[in-house]
C-alpha cells in the first residue's frame, strides 16, 4: 500500500503523514475512525485459509461430502510426496510444479564482513534437498 493510499484512508494530508500508525493521533477523534484504520491495517496479517476451511469450500463448490474431499486432499498429498521422492518432480495441473533440487555440501570457508572489514569464518553446510515451487501459467493469470 502506498503512503498516499494510507493517508486517504486515515483522512490525512501530506503534512500529517508522519503520524500514521500512532494511536495518540486518534485521541479525541472518532473511535470509529480508529477502528476502521486498525481493521484495514490488520486485514493482511493471515490471509491463508486453514485446511478445514479449504475442505469446506471445496465441498460446498463441488457438492461433495467433506470426508470425501478430505480423503482426496490427503491422497493427493501422499501421491505428490511419493512422486517427488521417486522422480524429483510433481505437477499439480492448473496450480504449480514442485521440483526437488539437490544442493551439494559446502566446506567451511574464510571471508570478510563487508561492513566491519573483519575476517569471518562461514560454517560448512551439509548436502541437502530444497523444494522449489513454480506456479503454472493458469495460476499466474488467475492472480
- Quick: pLDDT tens for 116-136: 999 999 999 999 999 999 999
The predicted model scores a pTM of: 0.59
Give residue 117's pLDDT: 92
- Spell out the domain ranges in the chain: 3-42, 48-87, 88-143
Give residue 40's pLDDT: 52
Mean pLDDT value across the chain: 80
The pLDDT confidence band at residue 66, using thresholds 50, 70 and 90, is: very high
- Rg (alpha carbons) of the chain, rounded to whole number: 25
Give residue 47's pLDDT: 82
- 109-117: list long-range contacts, CB under 8 Å, 24+ apart: none
- What's the CATH superfamily of 88-143? IHF-like DNA-binding proteins (4.10.520.10)
Residue 71 has φ and ψ, to the nearest 5°, of: -65, -35
Residue 129: HSE in the Cβ half-sphere, 13 Å Cα cutoff: 8
49 contacts: CB under 8 Å, gap ≥ 6: 57
Q: What is the mean pLDDT of residues 95-102?
A: 95
Residue 62: HSE in the Cβ half-sphere, 13 Å Cα cutoff: 14
> Does residue 21 surpass a pLDDT of 60?
no
Give residue 38's pLDDT: 58
Report percent pLDDT > 90 for the chain. 64
**In this structure, how many other beta carbons lie within 10 angstroms of the beta carbon of residue 66?**
13
What distances in angstroms separate CA 13 from CA 3, 6, 31, 93, one per listed residue? 11, 10, 20, 48
Angle between helices 31-42 and 3-10 (to 10 degrees): 150
Amino acid at each position: 500500500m502506498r503512503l498516499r493510499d494510507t493517508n486517504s484512508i486515515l483522512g490525512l494530508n501530506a503534512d500529517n503523514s508522519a503520524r500514521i500508525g500512532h494511536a495518540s493521533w486518534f485521541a479525541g477523534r472518532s473511535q470509529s475512525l480508529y477502528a476502521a484504520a486498525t481493521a484495514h491495517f490488520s486485514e493482511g496479517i493471515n490471509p491463508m485459509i486453514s485446511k478445514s476451511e479449504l475442505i469446506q469450500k471445496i465441498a460446498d463448490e463441488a457438492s461433495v461430502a467433506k470426508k470425501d474431499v478430505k480423503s482426496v486432499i490427503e491422497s493427493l498429498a501422499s501421491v505428490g510426496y511419493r512422486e517427488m521422492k521417486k522422480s524429483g518432480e510433481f505437477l499439480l495441473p492448473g496450480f504449480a510444479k514442485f521440483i526437488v533440487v539437490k544442493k551439494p555440501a559446502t566446506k567451511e570457508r574464510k571471508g570478510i564482513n563487508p561492513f566491519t572489514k573483519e575476517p569471518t569464518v562461514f560454517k560448512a553446510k551439509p548436502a541437502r534437498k530444497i523444494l522449489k515451487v513454480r506456479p503454472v501459467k493458469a495460476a499466474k493469470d488467475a492472480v
